[in-house]
């Protein structure tokens, strides 16, 4: 029982902070220890190891799907954020990821907390082969219409990512329906949850656009931009009806909210 010379507290701490192969080795080393604190720590570590294994398998499937659809070259994942908002820009990101390291936690940005999105955004930017971001402002959305605005933004994001990579993309994988922006374009329904570079693009676009709306809240306080991110929350709608529209609103999306009797535009 020489291993019992290590205190139960130290064993529990080692099991808590270890990961991967080290964790598996520690579990094997301490699984027969009779001390209650160690048994409890081993069981918790075993559950964590199983969760980590499932997560790795899920993320591996996202990368495998990207390779299956895009091939071995420079593969850009493309996604948009802000399509249904009534204020703020439409934002599109195009991202190319290396095959390694794998980004555990990578997922559709809508499934992630703000803190988790921001953590993953930092990791994506640290390892990405290329990133391109394109914003279409509200006035341009009003002028072009959403379909043309999406096409413009996706083409712009792909162009900027290609410039960042120093070469043209070999494949462009887009979340949703076909838009016709690239000769090697493939569209994937729910791609932001099933294809690694599209998931990364959804996170990058969401973090960038959210930051813009938070800044807008300081310029036009009272419209709940920081909380609603420009979407039609109850507080946002109430502010429009009380105060009118700002230059940051998409007027073609807000006609019903301001053209009622007794309502006036402030800008």
DSSP string for residues in 53-122: HHHHHHHHHHHHHHHHHH-SS-EEEEEEE-TT-SBS-EEEEEEE--SSS--TT---GGGS-HHHHHHHHH
Mean predicted confidence (pLDDT) in 8-26: 86
Q: What is the structure's pLDDT at 5?
A: 75
Q: Note the pTM of the prediction, 2 decimals.
A: 0.86
Residue 137 backbone class (left: φ over 0; alpha: ψ -120 to 50; beta: rest): beta
Instruction: Judge contact between 228 and 236, C-beta under 8 A.
Output: yes
Mean predicted confidence (pLDDT) in 176-201: 95
- Superfamily of domain 71-214, CATH level 4: Ribonuclease H-like superfamily/Ribonuclease H (3.30.420.10)
Mean predicted confidence (pLDDT) in 39-64: 92
Q: What is the structure's pLDDT at 1?
A: 44
Is 90 exceeded by the pLDDT of residue 24?
no
Q: What is the structure's pLDDT at 191?
A: 96
Residues of the chain with pLDDT > 70, as a percent, come to 95
Helices 36-70 and 20-30 cross at an angle (nearest 10°) of 150
Is 70 exceeded by the pLDDT of residue 265?
no
Q: What is the structure's pLDDT at 259?
A: 56
Tally of CB atoms within 10 A around 19: 11
């Amino acid at each position: 029982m020489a291993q019992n010379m290590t205190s139960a507290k130290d064993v529990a701490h080692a099991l808590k902070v270890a990961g991967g192969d080290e964790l598996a080795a520690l579990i094997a080393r301490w699984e027969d220890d009779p001390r209650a604190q160690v048994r409890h720590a081993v069981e918790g570590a075993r559950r964590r190891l199983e969760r980590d294994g499932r997560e790795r398998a899920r993320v591996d499937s996202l990368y495998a799907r990207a390779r299956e659809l895009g091939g071995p070259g420079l593969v850009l994942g493309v996604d948009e954020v802000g399509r249904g908002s009534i204020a703020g820009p439409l934002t599109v990101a195009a991202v190319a990821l290396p095959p390694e390291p794998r980004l555990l936690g990578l997922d559709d940005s809508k499934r992630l907390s703000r803190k988790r999105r921001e953590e993953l955004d930092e990791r994506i930017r640290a390892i990405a082969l290329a990133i391109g971001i394109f914003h279409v402002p509200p006035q341009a959305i009003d002028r072009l219409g959403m379909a043309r605005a999406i096409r413009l933004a996706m083409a712009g994001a792909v162009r900027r990512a290609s410039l960042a990579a120093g070469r043209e993309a070999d494949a462009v994988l887009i979340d949703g329906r076909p838009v016709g922006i690239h000769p090697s374009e493939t569209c994937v329904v729910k791609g932001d949850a099933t294809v690694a570079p599209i998931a990364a693009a959804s996170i990058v676009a969401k973090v960038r656009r959210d930051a813009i709306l938070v800044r807008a809240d300081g310029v036009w306080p009272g419209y709940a931009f920081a909380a609603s991110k420009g979407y039609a929350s109850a507080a946002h709608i109430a502010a429009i009806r009380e105060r009118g529209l700002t230059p940051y609103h998409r007027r073609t999306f807000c006609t019903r909210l301001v053209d009622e009797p007794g309502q006036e535009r402030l800008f």
